[in-house]
Structure 1
Amino acid sequence: MDVVIPDYSLFPSFFAMFCLIYLLGRLVVFRKWSPKNRLDASSCFISLFHGTPAVFLALSAILSQPIRGFASPNTNFQNLVLDFSIAYFTTDLLHYLIFIPGDYLFIAHHLATLFVFVTCRYLVLRGAFAILVLLVFAEVTSFCQNAWTLAGLRKEELPTAARIYMFLSPPFYALYSAMRGFAGPVFFYKMSAFYLSGKASDVIPMWVSVSWIVVVGAAIAVSILWISNHWMELFREMNQKEEKKGR
């Protein structure tokens, strides 16, 4: 039996769901953590409920699309996935605006991401194929990243958390590098070449296509810089440990 996907927006329902998940994490799951760690952990908590489900939803929506192309009309299933992600990023954005307003990088990232998702979902009603493929590349590392982040928040207090953090670092960094340092850029190049060729300009305004290219390109560049810094930090920590053993 086929599942019927509604053609109306499910953003309000998803937004309410993520707000409830956030409150559950903040008030129940992490209530005994320090105030600063509780804020970061609550953000990770809602990300856990978005990242991996978004990957499976996006893959299903992409594979079920009859005709896949950078300018293809969005299907109802694809719009549902976009609503799901828009609701998550809106919830997390509100978290940063209210509790961590000084984290300009994360706020800018969320605003830029929401711009791409919202214009795709509600303005041009096309291009979800490209956006969802990029979403898969971005979120396939989500579970590992959130577990790594949560362990990192407690690594100074709990030896077990420190061991988990160190254990997860190499595989997480490797997967992140593969997705955002290789697969993402390759797909981004193909997407950019198509949009800049003007082949989609009759259905997707050029200013929208160019804005997507700018936002995604900047996100990839920042991601590569971020993971490069973490690789260097990991190598420094490993070298320091080797030096201590040699003494």
Structure 2
Amino acid sequence: MDIKFPSFSNPLPLFFTLYLFLYLNAYFVIFRAWARKLRPEASSCIISLAHGTPAVFLASRAIISDPTRDFHSPNTPLQNLVLEYSIAYFLMDLVHYLIFFPTDFLFISHHLATLFVFLTCRYLVYHGAVAILVLLALAEVTSLCQNLWTLASARRWDVEFAAKVYDLLSPPFYALYTVVRGFLGPYFVYRMFVFYASGVADSVIPKWVWVSWVFVVFVAISVSVMWVSNLWIELYRERKKIVEKEVRYKL
């Protein structure tokens, strides 16, 4: 059975409005009982949950349904729709950071760089969505676990259940994130670079565009690897302290 997707002449404003509504609903309704300093991050997690896992399935569908799929093939209508769905999310989350965390230059830079890749693919060159959507799927496949882990982390100091969820999720989340960002992501970026460097796509994707894409993704992956490495170190230190306390207690 073939799945039919609705067609919109200009879906970006609609998607952005939906993310805005969801964010405001999370901030003022779902997390109204949370401390004010925690509500922005929690609301950001909600819209990330609404984007991440659906984006993986939508991106996969958009790639598989493209009979001419290649790193430089023309974008299909469904691929453009998925790009717009993601552009709306990153725009909304960028607004969130600019309002509540204006000095968080790392995340703001990340969102701006990601938007550059999506916008140039969608509105400038109209080609290469297959490569970009594979990267999107790889980036968002850890979204569900990461957002649940983030929400649990925010309340682990004052809610026992949150602490248990955080402890339970940390190792598998770190492991999955490490595999995706440390191995699968770099391998795919290498394939992109080899393909584009051959010059076969220069007629439809200018060199400065694909070089920018590869550079942005390479930097993003490098930062992600450093981030998860620090999490592994922190987890090791926490578990080591627990073991040392248990040993001292037995003595």
Q: TM-score, length-normalised on structure 1?
A: 0.98
C-alpha change, 1:102 and 1:184, in structure 2 (3 Å) is same
Out of 145-154 and 28-37, give the one that drifted further. Answer: 28-37
Output one character per residue of 1:164-196: Cα deviation in whole Å (capped at 9) or x when no partner.
101000000011111111111101100011112
Shift of 1:142: 0.2
Shift of 1:5: 5.1
Aligned length: 247
Q: Secondary structure at the match of 1:35?
A: coil
Letter in 2 for 1:198: G
Q: Secondary structure at the match of 1:216?
A: helix
Partner of 1:12: 13
Q: Superposition pairs for residues 68-83 of structure 1, below 5 Å?
A: 68-83=69-84
Q: Superposition pairs for residues 1-247 of structure 1, below 5 Å?
A: 3=4, 6=7, 8-247=9-248
Distance 2:45 2:3 in 1: 33
Q: Secondary structure at the match of 1:49?
A: helix
Distance 2:157 2:239 in 1: 17
C-alpha change, 1:32 and 1:7, in structure 2 (3 Å) is closer
Distance 2:117 2:231 in 1: 27
Letter in 2 for 1:67: T
Shift of 1:99: 1.5
Q: Which runs of no fewer than 5 residues in structure 2 stay unpaired?
A: none
Q: Structure 1 vs Structure 2: percent identity of aligned residues?
A: 59
**What's the C-alpha RMSD, in Å, of the aligned pairs?**
1.1
Distance 1:108 1:145 in 2: 20
Shift of 1:67: 1.2
Distance 1:6 1:76 in 2: 9
Letter in 2 for 1:185: P
Q: Secondary structure at the match of 2:38?
A: helix
Distance 1:194 1:114 in 2: 23
Q: Secondary structure at the match of 1:36?
A: coil
Q: Secondary structure at the match of 1:73?
A: coil
Q: Secondary structure at the match of 1:50?
A: helix
C-alpha change, 1:196 and 1:7, in structure 2 (3 Å) is farther
Distance 1:5 1:112 in 2: 29
Contact 1:9 / 1:80 at 8 angstroms: preserved in 2? no
Distance 2:197 2:37 in 1: 44
